[in-house]
Amino acid sequence: MKKIIDKLNKSFDNRVRLGMMSILMVNEWVDFKTFKEMLGLSDGNLASHMSALEKQGYVEVRKQFVGRKPQTTYNATLIGRQAFNDHLDALEKLLKNR
C-alpha cells in the first residue's frame, strides 16, 4: 500500500496542475487563453502552476508573435508525459487494490 502511494507524483497533487497536464496530454501547443477557459482560473493562478510544471521539466514554453500580439503556448515534454502516465497508473492501482 505504502509503496503505491509513494509512486503518486507530488507535482500532480494539485488539481490545477493535474488539469493542465490532462489538457496537454491530448493537445499540442496549447495557448494560455484555452487553459483559462477550460479550467476557469485567473491569470496569476495559472501562471504560477505552469511555471512549477516548467521547472520540473514537464512542460516546455514557446513565446511568439501572432500578428502584433505576443502569444505563449505550452507543450508537454516527453518526461512530462511519462511522469503523468506513471501517476495515472499509480492512481489506477490504488483504486483496484481496495
Partner 1 sequence: MNERNEHLETLQEIRSLMERSSRFISLSGLSGVAAGVFALAGAAMVYVYLGTTPFEHKQLYYVIAQTTSKWGLDYISFFLLDAILILVGALSCGIFFTTRKARRKGQKTWDALAQRLVINMAIPLSTGAAVCLAMLYHGQIEFIIPSTLVFYGLALVNASKYTLTDIRYLGFLEIALGIIGLFNIGYGLEIWAIGFGILHIVYGIIMYFKYE
Residues that bind partner 1 (CB under 8 A): 15, 18-19, 22-23, 25-27, 30, 34, 37-39, 88, 91-92, 94-95, 98
Q: Would you say 30 or 83 has its CB closer to partner 1?
A: 30
CA 68 to chain centroid: 28
Instruction: Report, in Å, the least distance between residue 24 CB and partner 1.
Output: 9
Instruction: Report, in Å, the least distance between residue 78 CB and partner 1.
Output: 18
Q: Would you say 38 or 52 has its CB closer to partner 1?
A: 38
Write the CB contacts of 90 (distance below 8 Å, at least 6 apart in sequence): 4, 5, 7, 8, 9
Cell of 37: 477557459
Instruction: Report, in Å, the least distance between residue 16 CB and partner 1.
Output: 11
For the chain, the residue count is 98
Q: Identify each DSSP E strand in 7-95 by its residue range.
A: 30-31, 59-66, 69-76
Are 59 and 50 in contact by the 8 Å Cβ rule? The answer is: yes
Q: Would you say 68 or 95 has its CB closer to partner 1?
A: 95
Q: Would you say 5 or 61 has its CB closer to partner 1?
A: 5
